[in-house]
Every structure is written in structure tokens, then in C-alpha cells.
Amino acid sequence: MSAISLAFSPCPNDTFIFDALVHGKIDTEGLIFEFRMEDVETLNQLAFQGSADMIKVSYHAFLYLSDRYHLLDSGSALGSGNGPVLISKEPYALDDLSRLTIAIPGEYTTAHLLLKIAAPFAVHKKIMAFDRIEDSILNGTVDAGVIIHENRFTYEGKGLTRIADLGEYWENLVHCPVPLGGILAKKSLGRETLGKLNRVMKKSVAFAMKDPGQAMGFVRCNAREMDEEVMKKHIHLYVNEFTLDLGTAGKNAVDRLFGMAKERGLVKS
């Protein structure tokens, strides 16, 4: 069998859960993986292009990909208290967003979809890489920004303030976890291979959760000089029981996100 092309981000939660899979620390049931790492919005675009057999994407992007890709039961970033945060330098309120320029980490990120749910009147947006958003607020390029990943641990130290926690907004609105991203595999791979990928992904997550130290070398070398404590907080926040298995509650949360996006006309045709 030819190698499975795999793509995920260099963020600690992804490198943590994929370490065992890509480094042969588990039984991959005969599957061979060739992997690449990209930022979240690049991953979304690669999925739209069909450039990877197995790929981590934002759940917002999955809205447009479900006809071609199957969602794996393991590997998702989904939970409570870990959603994107809307920040600024000045003490703005949500009602101010209609007149502000807001940085977003990608058109098809779940962060952008949650912003549209919380503030549909926010129309002045600027797409940029997630790790540029804090500095762009500080230097006045934008008025506010939606931050994801490890930036939720760093923005206060840079003198920035929170306008709203968009994950918290979602949880209060629907009383279920916030679905951020998941692992997809091409339906064209066939039922047998999809079954293997489901099992292998779960084994990789379970291996990392059982012995976290095994993955930390891979995490560190891809964490963009991130502080060790921030790395550990990042993993603890984004890797949880839903990462091991979405289960009924996780799948219901994804369905709620999709349903609300469609009901409110937030999905492009």
C-alpha cells in the first residue's frame, strides 16, 4: 500500500498526539505515514484542495468538507474553557466591534465562525497568521484580534485585554463543549483503511496520554521556542477525553455548531 499523506500543525497538542503514530511507537496496522506540518488555515486550504489523505482541520472548514472527508473519532481539539479569545489594547466591548478592524487567524477557522456567532455585526476583518495577531494589535495595525492556541496564555503579559472569551460565549449559549478542530480522512480511502486510521489514531492519542514524556521531544522541537510551562498548559488544555474519543457528547457539540451556523446563515453556499 502507498503511504498515507498526513498533515497537522506544529502546535503542542498536535505534535503530542501524533508523535507515536509518525515515529512508529505503536502498531500502525501496516500503514505508512508521510507527514507535513502547517498552520491551521493552511491546513484548511490543503483539505479544500484534497492535498492530504489524513489532515487536522478546523471544524468550521469541515462544514464544507463532509462530503469528501470522514471525521475520525480520535484526535479532536474540543472541550471546555479552551476556546478562542477576542482581545484588544483598549477596553472595548462587543458592541464596539462594528467599527473596529479585527484580526482573525483564517477565514475557515472555528475562531472566525465563533466570532460570527457572537458578533455578526463585526465586518471589518483582516486575516493573518495566528502568531502575528498580538503584535498587530500592539502596533496598531488592527484594533482587536481573535487569538487561538498558546496565545491565550501570553496576551495579558503583553498588556492586552480581553473583550470576550468566544469559547465561553458558545458554552453559555448552548451548554456544550466548543468544537475547535478534528482529524479528517478521505472517504475515497475506503472502509478498511478508514477503520485502520480510526484505530491507529486512537492508539497514538492513548499512548501519549499514558506516557506524556515520550512525546515531549517532538513537541519541543516544533514549539517555536515556546516556554516549557506554556507547552504543558497548552497540552493540558487541548488534549482531553474528547481527544481520545469524541463520543456522543462530542459529536452532539459538532452537530450543534453546524446547525447554528446554517440556521444563522453563516455558511457560504
Which CATH number belongs to the domain containing residue 109 in this structure?
A: 3.40.190.10
In a domain, 161, yes or no: yes
Average pLDDT of the segment spanning 110-124? 96
Write out pLDDT tens, residues 36-66. Answer: 999 999 999 999 999 999 999 999 999 999 9
Domain count, the chain: 2
154, 174, 194 - which closes a domain: 174
Q: Place 149 in a pLDDT band, splitting at 50, 70 and 90.
A: confident
Domain range spanning residue 257?
4-79+179-263
User: Do 89 and 148 have their domain in common?
Assistant: yes
User: Do 28 and 97 have their domain in common?
Assistant: no
In a domain, 269, yes or no: no
User: Do 192 and 63 have their domain in common?
Assistant: yes
Rounded to whole angstroms, the Cα distance separating 179 from 251 reads 9
In a domain, 268, yes or no: no
Q: Place 267 in a pLDDT band, splitting at 50, 70 and 90.
A: confident
Q: What is the DSSP string of 27-89?
A: --TT--EEEEE--HHHHHHHHHHT--SEEEEEHHHHTTTTTTEEEPSS--EEESS-S-EEEES
174, 189, 217 - which closes a domain: 174
User: Do 9 and 36 have their domain in common?
Assistant: yes
In a domain, 118, yes or no: yes
pLDDT for 143 beyond 80: yes
129, 159, 174 - which closes a domain: 174
User: Do 220 and 251 have their domain in common?
Assistant: yes
pLDDT for 154 beyond 90: no
Q: What is the pLDDT of residue 12?
A: 95
Q: Place 140 in a pLDDT band, splitting at 50, 70 and 90.
A: very high
User: Do 23 and 143 have their domain in common?
Assistant: no
Q: What is the pLDDT of residue 217?
A: 95
E strands in the chain? 4-8, 33-37, 54-58, 69-71, 77-79, 85-88, 102-104, 125-127, 144-147, 161-165, 178-186
Rounded to whole angstroms, the Cα distance separating 222 from 230 reads 13
Rounded to whole angstroms, the Cα distance separating 67 from 10 reads 27
Residue 154's φ and ψ, nearest 5 degrees, are -115, -20
User: Do 72 and 195 have their domain in common?
Assistant: yes
The pLDDT > 70 percentage for the chain reads: 99
Q: Place 245 in a pLDDT band, splitting at 50, 70 and 90.
A: very high
The three cell numbers locating residue 267? 455558511
pLDDT for 201 beyond 90: yes
Q: Place 268 in a pLDDT band, splitting at 50, 70 and 90.
A: confident
Q: What is the pLDDT of residue 269?
A: 65
Write out pLDDT tens, residues 169-180. Answer: 999 999 999 999
Cite the active site residues. Answer: 149
pLDDT for 33 beyond 80: yes
User: Do 66 and 194 have their domain in common?
Assistant: yes
Strands 178-186 and 33-37: unpaired
Distances from the Cα of 266 to the Cα of 99, 122, 160, 241, 251, angstroms: 20, 13, 29, 29, 20
Rounded to whole angstroms, the Cα distance separating 104 from 95 reads 18
Q: pTM for this structure?
A: 0.95
In a domain, 130, yes or no: yes
Average pLDDT of the segment spanning 128-132? 92
User: Do 44 and 63 have their domain in common?
Assistant: yes
User: Do 147 and 39 have their domain in common?
Assistant: no
Q: CA quadruple 54, 55, 57, 61: dihedral positive or negative?
A: negative
Q: 3-state class of 184 per DSSP?
A: strand
- Contact present, 37 and 9 (Cβ < 8 Å): yes
Q: What is the pLDDT of residue 228?
A: 86
